[in-house]
Amino acid sequence: MDNFMPSVNEQQLLGLVDDFIQTASSRHSALEGVVGLLASNYRHFNWTGIYILDNGILKLGPYRGEPSPHVAIPVDNGICGTAVREGKTIVVPDVSADSRYLACSIRTKSEIVVPIFKDSKIVGEIDIDSDNLDAFKEVDQRILELVAKKLSGLF
Ligand code: SME
């Protein structure tokens, strides 16, 4: 379980997200900061990125992890597109069993995609892949949805 031990607690993490949002010089640099924070705080987050929705295409913004071939995902594709179409967080415990999955790394075993809403419309997503099967639990979904709510202020 050591694998799941974060170095800052939830409240501290949310405070740091606020700091990035308030002090960064641009949306991009605030998102960079938040991606780095999430990736370094949770060891089961092996690829952590933000997609920005632009005219029906999810465009890759800041990320940590291996470069992804999926830098522009139409909303009718992938787990990422599914989260936009369904307007909710999608958790995939085993990507090998999900035909919607677009592969980024052969090591990825599970994924969570959390929409960022602005005025009830989706403007982007937090996308996280894990090398562990069934890595994303309710606690991860809750914190990521709180982070997404804060990121809404950048749009
Ligand atoms: N797996 C995603 C694509 C993005 S990569 O994981 C970075 C999907 O199925 O939409």
pLDDT of residue 138: 98
Cβ-based neighbours of 42, under 8 Å, separated by 6 or more: 4, 6, 140
Q: Report the distance separating Cα 139 and Cα 145, nearest Å.
A: 10
Work out whether the CA dihedral 88, 135, 105, 32 comes out positive or negative.
positive
- Give the residue, by CA position, lying nearest to ligand 1 atom 2: 102
| Substitution site in 73, 76, 90 for ligand 1 pocket (most atoms within 8 Å of beta carbon) | 73
Top mutation candidate among 89, 96, 101, 126 for ligand 1, by most atoms within 8 Å of CB:
101
Side by side, the strands of the sheet bearing 57-64 are: 72-74, 57-64, 47-54, 121-130, 110-118, 90-92
Ligand 1 neighbour 48 (Cβ under 6 A): no
Predicted confidence at residue 7, as pLDDT, reads: 85
Q: Is the beta carbon of 64 within 6 A of some atom in ligand 1?
A: no
Blockwise average pLDDT, block size 10, the chain, 155 residues: 67 96 96 97 96 98 97 98 98 98 96 98 98 98 98 97
Check if 125 has its Cβ closer than 6 Å to any atom of ligand 1: no
Helix, strand, coil % in the chain, rounded to nearest 5:
40, 25, 35
Residue nearest to atom 1 of ligand 1 (CA): 102
Q: Are 136 and 112 in contact (CB under 8 A)?
A: yes
135 CB-side CA count, 13 A:
23
pLDDT value of residue 3: 46
Cβ 65 under 6 angstroms from ligand 1: no
